[in-house]
Amino acid sequence: NFMLTQPHSVSESPGKTVTISCTGSSGSIASNYVQWYQQRPGSAPTTVIYEDNQRPSGVPDRFSGSIDSSSNSASLTISGLKTEDEADYYCQSYDSSTVVFGGGTKLTVL
């Protein structure tokens, strides 16, 4: 079964840049789109990146997504960190026609 692996947690200071990785267990992560979701405590997930690197309207350009085929990974990069960015982040892709989520990464901004 295809799996997506994320670091359990990351932390960084306000104003800095952080990158969260999402590594595919097999195949080519570049073969299917990757989405990234932000979930603040007590709230529903919201999409910050869709189709690898597209930002929904209203998502600041501090959020960016990329794919690295050499490491079979997707990455979410958040620059100019703000305390409001503190949340859980989930990557999501596909395995045939099934949807696969990563386990989530807790971002602490301190």
- CB nearer to other proteins: give 17 or 54: 54
- CB nearer to other proteins: give 24 or 102: 102
Tell me which of 20, 85, 87, 90 binds other proteins, using CB under 8 A: 90
* Rounded Cα gap, residues 58 and 97, in angstroms: 29
96 torsion bin: left (phi>0), alpha (psi -120 to 50), beta (else): left
- Least distance between other proteins and beta carbon 63 (Å): 13
- Least distance between other proteins and beta carbon 57 (Å): 8
* CB under 8 A, 24+ apart: contacts of 45-49: 45/90, 48/76, 48/89, 49/76
- Three-state secondary structure call for residue 85: helix
Q: Residue 35 interacts with other proteins (CB under 8 A)?
A: yes
First to last CA, the chain: 36
Q: Residue 50 interacts with other proteins (CB under 8 A)?
A: yes
Instruction: Give residues in contact with other proteins (CB under 8 A).
Output: 33, 35, 37, 44-47, 50-51, 56, 90, 92, 97-104
